[in-house]
Structure 1
């Protein structure tokens, strides 16, 4: 989601708890939840703009590209008026019920599917959150159920036709749920912790401005205590990161492929490639679920509207655009075009996965033969920054692999419309913005060590270019 930082107006600091922090034998007493002193996303005005515009743009993509047409003519007011169902037409009680059942299913599977409990990274207050790692098994269970219905009952079953017939209502249901969840975690962040102390807030979400803090999120790790499992912490942010949106994304793609078969009597190689590429990406994310615990989303960002909407709405309903387009606009690629697109996908995936695996292995098992030879910069903070291998090539080399894969997901749609390439452009902006946030965070964290690291590893994302 959009742009950069601006200094916040000066404000009197709120009362905060003091916390003694141990770091490499150096004890410092500092506030547990310091006042946020700078804004991202252009501050409250930018946060309000993103909060209002991202839902609107999600709807716009639906009206711009559907079974009727998919062209730049959607920019005309007449085109929008011809498709606009009215405000009441956006609400679909059946879709709302279906979406609530979707969450109910995921919660039940979270409870009953076994999985190890893993500690996250150490937080500012010295604690480590506990996370249940059964996302991959949940993914396999859900998709297996969907494929089972497809094989047993065929593509005309209501599980698949419902998605196509109620897609607009499902967008609305997910939007409403994401707003409700964001409101809940924002309000609950003001409720004292059970021990009577302060909850741990994100460093960037304690500005005191309601609009901004609601958008960026206040509490770092909001949890729910499920009444039937009082001793098992349910972390809302980690659950939402990879399950409701990621798994739904794959389920939607399968439903779109089923619609193409019903409509045209065949499934094209183009939609197969999109479903396989994106499905593999999601499966890989959930297979490596534990790796998400070291990402900025978990370690640094709070859970506010930005992540709630992004995880629940933006990911499944905009990232599935290519499969939805091909469901009603079939394209036959043939062997050589398919092979070329597969090569693009494999190149991007190799860079993305190899880089991330190298970083996680070095962080967790630095003596492993695959990383023991890497050179690094020892920081005064206590951590080590890799200066060779993938991470010596560019400071955020994994983003390059991610973006190359984005092209492979869009190329199967051909070149009849630029709309299906929205993801490539958006993702480039997202990755550059995220890289800027990473750089700023690391600059504050490592100080002069980060300047030395940038001197040793010059390139940001694309080696020798950027």
Structure 2
């Protein structure tokens, strides 16, 4: 560590390029906790802390106090005394002419404004906004005109240059930074240092957008450039996005229709010819129930319950999240059990209205995605999702033009995620209560049904308990919030209930040892999923922590490192592998010849395989040669030897 506790340093003020005096409070793991002169405390990296420069005049004055040069006081250097005969012996001797001192070379700090602002979230180590420059020739000519230079004149000139420096800083402080990129330095587009989720494509696929930002005062206009991807890169382009936009609601609706009758089979699709059944798709109470549930989750997300953590660094600042998803779940479950205890059969209402509730989820998802698309057209260009800022509206609508859209203190993506997870737990609990009622007691309930509900709840509960680590996932950090995520989150609770609804109508004849085998397989998948995510999250927070400091990694020009040992040295996405194992374990527990229990496992597998392909392409553009080295060490994406 460069500095230790108690050292006086210059620290970078957050969200600015200005350095101010501060004192180091603690130093740990490459991070410094400093206290500014105003009393505020911040945690900064090594690149944002530098040594305080001691002024030359103070240093020289300290060394001269109480000490005289022995050379100057030597007898050999004394001038022989000359006395005029006309003067009295006690007359003061004549002074020699003062030797003109050399003109000093003065270093004056000058503010350097970066010509190219970076769009990356990673800070370049050693980058500073203030550099020492020599005095310009025009200023030196001014020094000569002043005549002999004394210490007093030097102080006057230094104060003048300092006033000019402060004036430049005040102009920058008054500038409007809301639509500008952060001031970290940006690598060239052909370099390896590229940030995932931002502009990282070849020149022929990148749109250079020029816009003007007016600053206050006399700072004038500043022209900036932002790289936007001008062509759709994923999902089969705009045509593939259009097919998915049309197919997703039809697919979700058909899955609910096959389980909306007295049995749960895919042959129920043919019963749709009866037009009377379409009336059951819409229910006003279902609209109000789902709207109330989403509002409850949003209100809980805004309350100061739970700890506040820092999220990713965006182009306009660092996001903050209130971690209270588990508390929201506890309140929801308490309300459900309370209603059930006092005779209000909320579970009967939920199971009886699953079909209209799923239709409401589709409608709300479409409305929300349209609202987010309109909202994204009014935000600064720097806030856009670079992978959904193309020239095609269909593709941008599918992907989502914003990664983390917010309305005041509410994070829309976080609310949708909690709605999906908590809704999954509530629907599964309501289903098992309904089955126990039909079977006239818990003793008559099929153990497979209890096992399936339990495993579904464990899977959803994990993301709520470890919500802080889930916020560092690809889905939260880099996936746009558009039609895809809005619809997917709001219909997810009803897709996961297909398995338990199927078991409520069919008796599973499966040996006990097979049931135990699939439960153990689920536990193995969960261990792989949880430990790999935990290892990744710890390494991102502090790669010098004892639990992850021994992991082998490859450095990149972005300042990050790619893990090539541990869980992430086995395959590139071990968490995806664990996720797939868990879903197929639940599907095989149903042990059915019907396709319905396997729908969710097939959907999850295809989704994660496609996400691994997308992530590989983005990382290749982002890390370049470092990613090629990583792929040569870790050859397979999800399943070793297969894919």
Match of 1:130, SS state, is: strand
Give 1:205's aligned residue: 388
Which has more radius of gyration? 2
Change (3 A) 1:330 1:107: farther
- The correspondence for 1:51, drawn from 221, 225, 245, is 245
* Alignment pair present for 1:80 and 2:234: no
* Alignment pair present for 1:117 and 2:308: yes
User: 1:269 touches 1:332 (CA, 8 Å); kept in 2?
Assistant: no
Deviations 1:305-339 (A, max 9, x none): 111011111x2121221112122334365643332
Give 1:282's aligned residue: 460
Give 1:238's aligned residue: 414
Deviations 1:216-266 (A, max 9, x none): 1112221112xxxxxxx211112212x111110111111111111122223
Alignment of 1:43-442 (within 5 A): 43-74=237-268, 78-82=270-274, 85-86=277-278, 88-112=279-303, 114-123=305-314, 125=315, 127-150=317-340, 152-153=341-342, 157-192=344-379, 197-198=380-381, 200-225=383-408, 233-241=409-417, 243-265=418-440, 266-313=444-491, 315-331=492-508, 333=510, 335-442=512-619
Separation (CA, whole Å) in 2 of partners of 1:255 and 1:203: 41
User: 1:377 touches 1:386 (CA, 8 Å); kept in 2?
Assistant: yes
User: 1:178 touches 1:312 (CA, 8 Å); kept in 2?
Assistant: yes
| Cα drift, residue 37 of structure 1 | 2.9
Separation (CA, whole Å) in 2 of partners of 1:449 and 1:297: 23
User: 1:221 touches 1:236 (CA, 8 Å); kept in 2?
Assistant: yes
Separation (CA, whole Å) in 2 of partners of 1:419 and 1:331: 14
Structure 2: tracts of 5 or more residues without a match:
1-115, 128-183, 188-223
Separation (CA, whole Å) in 2 of partners of 1:459 and 1:56: 34
Match of 1:204, SS state, is: helix
| Cα drift, residue 198 of structure 1 | 3.7
User: 1:250 touches 1:278 (CA, 8 Å); kept in 2?
Assistant: yes
Separation (CA, whole Å) in 1 of partners of 2:382 and 2:263: 50
| Cα drift, residue 345 of structure 1 | 0.9
User: 1:378 touches 1:385 (CA, 8 Å); kept in 2?
Assistant: yes
Deviations 1:181-239 (A, max 9, x none): 111111011124xxxx54501111111322221111112221112xxxxxxx2111122
Separation (CA, whole Å) in 2 of partners of 1:23 and 1:34: 22
Give 1:9's aligned residue: none
Match of 2:185, SS state, is: strand
Match of 2:557, SS state, is: coil
Give 2:228's aligned residue: 34
| Cα drift, residue 146 of structure 1 | 1.7
| Cα drift, residue 20 of structure 1 | 4.1
| Cα drift, residue 113 of structure 1 | 5.9
Task: Give TM-score scaled by structure 2 length.
Answer: 0.64
Match of 2:272, SS state, is: helix
| Cα drift, residue 147 of structure 1 | 2.9
User: 1:19 touches 1:32 (CA, 8 Å); kept in 2?
Assistant: no
CA RMSD of aligned residues (A): 2.2
Deviations 1:127-148 (A, max 9, x none): 2111111111111221232233
Larger helix fraction of residues: 1
Match of 1:128, SS state, is: strand
Separation (CA, whole Å) in 2 of partners of 1:289 and 1:349: 16
User: 1:293 touches 1:299 (CA, 8 Å); kept in 2?
Assistant: yes
Match of 1:377, SS state, is: strand
Separation (CA, whole Å) in 2 of partners of 1:116 and 1:36: 40
Deviations 1:20-73 (A, max 9, x none): 455343823873462433332122222121112111111111222345333343
Match of 2:228, SS state, is: coil
Separation (CA, whole Å) in 1 of partners of 2:589 and 2:352: 24
Deviations 1:266-298 (A, max 9, x none): 332112111111111111101111122222222
Stretch deviating more after TM superposition (363-372 or 269-278):
363-372
| Cα drift, residue 82 of structure 1 | 4.3
User: 2:354 touches 2:494 (CA, 8 Å); kept in 1?
Assistant: no
Separation (CA, whole Å) in 1 of partners of 2:377 and 2:266: 45
| Cα drift, residue 392 of structure 1 | 0.5
Change (3 A) 1:359 1:122: same
Give 2:179's aligned residue: none
Structure 1: tracts of 5 or more residues without a match:
1-17, 226-232
Separation (CA, whole Å) in 1 of partners of 2:258 and 2:613: 31
Give the count of matched residue pairs. 430
Separation (CA, whole Å) in 1 of partners of 2:509 and 2:286: 32
